[in-house]
Amino acid sequence: MDEGYFFDTYAFFEIIKQNPNYSEYLKVGIITTRLNLMELHYHLLREVGKYEADRHFNRFLPFCISFSNEDIKKANELKLEYKKRKLSYIDCLGYVIAIKRNVKFLTGDNQFKDLKDVEFVK
């Protein structure tokens, strides 16, 4: 685990809510995508307003990495493979990126609980 963890949107929500189970993960390398921040921003806009949504978006923006067309294709293959779980496109992309980068996918999303290389934290 040379880079730390791929933080999905669930992980960011738990950090914002100050879930103590996630506090140790702030000490490791964080990677994510702008799509995860887009999802986070939208939900925060609805729940707590523009100021907080913008603040947290900007807080986590430095941890964003880019992704390739091949990553998108692999994410779609994963989504199809687990179609009964109704995984989101964004989560599938994050999981694929985590595997590619040799880091764990940090989440509390039950749909990923039993998948390989997932750090499942509630």
* pTM score, whole prediction: 0.94
**CA–CA distance from 120 to each of 2, 31, 41 (Å)?**
19, 16, 22
What is the domain partition of the chain in residue ranges? 5-120
pLDDT of amino acid 1: 38
pLDDT of amino acid 31: 97
pLDDT of amino acid 109: 96
At the top level of CATH, the class of 5-120 is alpha beta
pLDDT of amino acid 2: 47
Q: What is the pLDDT along the chain (122 residues), one digit of tens a residue?
A: 346 999 999 999 999 999 999 999 989 999 999 999 999 999 999 999 999 999 999 999 999 999 999 999 999 999 999 999 999 999 999 999 999 999 999 999 999 999 999 999 99
- The alpha carbon of 29 is separated from its chain's Cα centroid by a whole number of angstroms, namely 13
Residues in the chain: 122
Q: Which is nearest to 37 in space by CA: 55, 51, 19?
A: 55
Local structure of 86: helix, strand or coil: coil
